[in-house]
Chain A
Amino acid sequence: MSLAFQASQALPRGTDYLRILPELVLSIFGMIIMVLDPVVDQRRNQKALGTLALIGSLAAIASTLWQARAPGLAFWNMVQVDTFSVFFHFLITTITAVVILTSYEYMEVQQIRVGEYYALILFGAVGMCLMSSAVELVLIFIALEISSISTYILAGFRRRAAISSEASIKYFLLGSFATAFFLYGVALMFGATGSTSIPTIEQHLRSGSIPVLAYVAIALMFVGLGFKVAAAPFHVWTPDVYEGAPAPIVGFMSTAPKAAVFAVLLRIMFQIHAPGRLGLIWVAAALSMTLGNIGALVQQNVKRLLAYSSIAHAGYLLVAFAALPQNGIPSAMFYTASYAAMNIGAFAVVSHFGGAGERYVTLEDYSGLGRRSPVLAAALTLFLLSLIGIPITAGFFAKFYVFSAALQANLVGLVIIGVINSAVAAYYYLRVIVVVYMHDPRDESVLPAVPLELGAALAITALTTIYLGLLPGRVLDYASRSAGDLLH
């Protein structure tokens, strides 16, 4: 029983705090920004608050690396620091830093002058980091809510734009609906095993016959988490929310919370040895890949197109969950990392090109981008090729490992569906590239120059995409070790 009061261990120790250090750092910086926001001059110091947030996320990356040297349990077995949690901490804090870099120019152009934007990104990252290290279902629920509530607000940040608040309300209502399902699953799991601690649940389910309640609990938790990662059939909110939300935030919420939720799913599916895993995953993966790609074929709005592509990628990723743990876990982890690099990069281009009020977001607007801004066009092309899965980009190895893991588990049907879908997907990504390079520009006006911060963000994401596509070995090795940690 995780919350039992034991007199000898009633007080937290120093190592306990070390093991939530990245979360502490992020929260402290978030609070400093909230306090400073009303007292600083809004016009001039927007950038200063952003820089503070950037320093906060870099400090969180540093504390993650520091924390990695002292793995172990903390806070009465509720938090576990191991290579698995460090991998996701590093990924989430890096995503946070890059998204803050992409936000500077966006906030300037959209004339949004409120510092809590950056604070909310940091608070969201706190929840996501905590999700990846929590080994207690109720703590996971709270972390999930910290991350979700922050992203609900961020989705509606262009308050004057009606579509932004509409995106926010849709995200909020469907997100809370999904959370209630997850929580019901937690309650039933508590009922089935008498505990909400993941290791205890695992022992309990392993020792005797599996109660029916546990199957229902896993299914309900999967519904809740499936909503959060935009897996079909729980994906309907995705295109609307991604279209209405600010572009840098879409880059954030399509990668960081997803990575965190996939970390939770990995724990639930593999560490608990979830009963009935294969059937659930099979259906969700096949549906997500197919519906995502078919939906993307007809889109004219680039943000919506990328939203459907995000559904499809959630499907490819779920294929790894149907595979055997020893190669399913590392391939899923590698996929989240490479998807984060290419997707944030793509949305960075979209947010720069959108201009004031995000006016230029349709496919036609992108015509002739290759001539108007060769650098942006080249970056966008790289990210799209990676999303297709062309060799020497991250997307290739990501798909390769997932599909080969699935083949080793004899999931031939699922792999065939996946490969057909990848071929279909190539069509709509290439369509964007054709428009960018082959069509004449509709508007010859000069694009604003790419500012330094956005350039840095594009460089980081592009280099990561190529690095993971050329030398995937180190990341994959680390992911394999994490898989070992997760399975003991």
Chain B
Amino acid sequence: MVPLSYYLVLSGVLFACGVTGFLIKRNIITIFMSIELMLNGVNLSFVAFAAHWHALSGQIFVFFVMVVAAAEAAVGLAIIIAVYRTRETLNVDQVNLLKL
């Protein structure tokens, strides 16, 4: 059997990849995909912990997370389209009317 720590390390790596992608990528769609990667990292640790504690609830949470992620994607893509319509670009460096 694969030990718990392997799964946790993998989930941590996935999450870290997502964070890195969020911070260094310039295209809004790619940034959005990085967030999905972070959520999938979390899902993996939920499943791993569910197996560790023999608690079925951990597996069920993953479904909740997937549903919420889907809802978020629907809204997110709509907002991205709204931005593209007014700006004709999806590069975050050019979406800069508001000074950061």
How many whole Å from A217's CB to the nearest CB in chain B? 11
Q: Least Cβ distance of B46 to chain A in Å?
A: 5
Task: Establish whether residues A180 and B18, one from each chain, have CB atoms under 8 Å apart when the complex forms.
Answer: yes
Question: What is the interface of chain B mostly: helix, strand, loop, or mixed?
Answer: helix
> Which residues in A have their C-beta under 8 angstroms from that of B49?
187, 190-191, 194
A159 CB contact (under 8 Å) in B15, B35, B82, B99: B82
Which chain A residues lie closer than 8 Å to B99 at the CB level? 240
**Given A149-B72, A173-B35, A194–B53 Cβ distance below 8 Å?**
yes
Interface residues of B in 52-74 (CB under 8 A from A): 52-53, 55-58, 60-61, 64-65, 68, 71-72
Complex contact A166–B15 (CB within 8 A): no
- One digit per residue, 1 when the CB lies within 8 angstroms of any chain B CB and 0 when it does not, for chain A 163-198 equals 101111110110011001001100110110011100
Find B42's partner among A167, A176, A183, A236 (CB 8 Å cutoff).
A183
A244 interface residue (CB < 8 Å to B): yes
B60 surroundings in chain A (CB, below 8 A): 3
Task: State in angstroms the CA–CA spacing of A159 and B79 once bound together.
Answer: 10
A156-B82 Cα distance, complex, nearest whole Å:
9
| A162 and B100 within 8 A (CB) | no
Taking the closest CB of chain A, its distance from the CB of B7, in whole angstroms, is 10
| A105 within 8 Å of B (CB atoms) | no
Partner of A180, one of B11, B35, B52: B35
Residue contact B45 to A169, C-beta cutoff 8 Å:
no
Whether A145 is near chain B, meaning CB under 8 Å from some CB there, is yes
B83 within 8 A of A: yes
Min Cβ gap A183→B in Å is 5
Chain B: residues with Cβ within 8 Å of the partner, total of 46
> For the complex, what is the distance from the CA of A180 to the CA of B79, rounded to whole Å?
19
Contacts A240-B98, A243-B98; A152 near B75 (Cβ below 8 A):
yes
A470 at the B interface (CB under 8 A): no
Whether A240 lies near B28 (C-beta < 8 A) is no
B40 to chain A, nearest CB (A): 10
Write the B81-97 contact mask toward A (1 if CB under 8 angstroms, else 0). 01101110000000111
Inside 8 A of A138's CB, which chain B residues have their CB? 61, 64
Question: CB distance A180 to B46 under 8 Å?
Answer: no
Given A2-B57, A183-B65, A243-B98, check contact A190 B80 (CB 8 Å). no
Pick the residue among B52, B76, B83, B100 that contacts A176 (CB under 8 A): B76
Q: Is the CB of A145 within 8 A of B72?
A: yes
Please list 12 pairs of residues, one from A and one from B, whose beta carbons are closer than 8 Å in the complex, sorted by A's number. Answer: A165-B82, A165-B83, A165-B87, A166-B96, A173-B32, A187-B61, A191-B45, A191-B53, A194-B53, A240-B98, A240-B99, A244-B97
**What 5 A-B pairs come out closest when comparing CB atoms?**
A180-B38, A240-B98, A191-B49, A194-B53, A3-B57
